[in-house]
Amino acid sequence: MFFKKKSMEKKYYNKEQKMPVLKCSICNGEQVAGFQDKKTGAFEDIMFIRSQQELEQFMDMYGITEPLKKIY
């Protein structure tokens, strides 16, 4: 009857091949959190960010402690 918050499952990424970034749109301010391949520069989107809370959730999910680099 009552809804419980789902426990957040920790996820992992290859830190040697990918770096966490925040892809931002200059036009409308949309932000997408994901990972950029260090070798090719290809971006893999993971989560659409609409608030600071969602950004913190993404960082907690992957264990990211440092601020994300923004790419445009």
Per-residue pLDDT tens digits for 14-47 = 999 999 999 999 999 899 999 999 999 999 999 9
pTM of the model: 0.81
Would you say residue 65 lies in a domain? Answer: yes
Would you say residue 6 lies in a domain? Answer: no
DSSP summary character for residue 70: E
Whole-number Cα distances in Å, 44 to 9, 26, 36, 47: 19, 19, 6, 10
Would you say residue 11 lies in a domain? Answer: no
Domain range for 24 is 18-71
Domain count, the chain: 1
Q: Token pair for residue 23?
A: 């892809």
Would you say residue 44 lies in a domain? Answer: yes
Would you say residue 13 lies in a domain? Answer: no
Would you say residue 54 lies in a domain? Answer: yes
pLDDT value at residue 6: 54
* Residue 2 scores a pLDDT above 60: no
pLDDT value at residue 9: 78
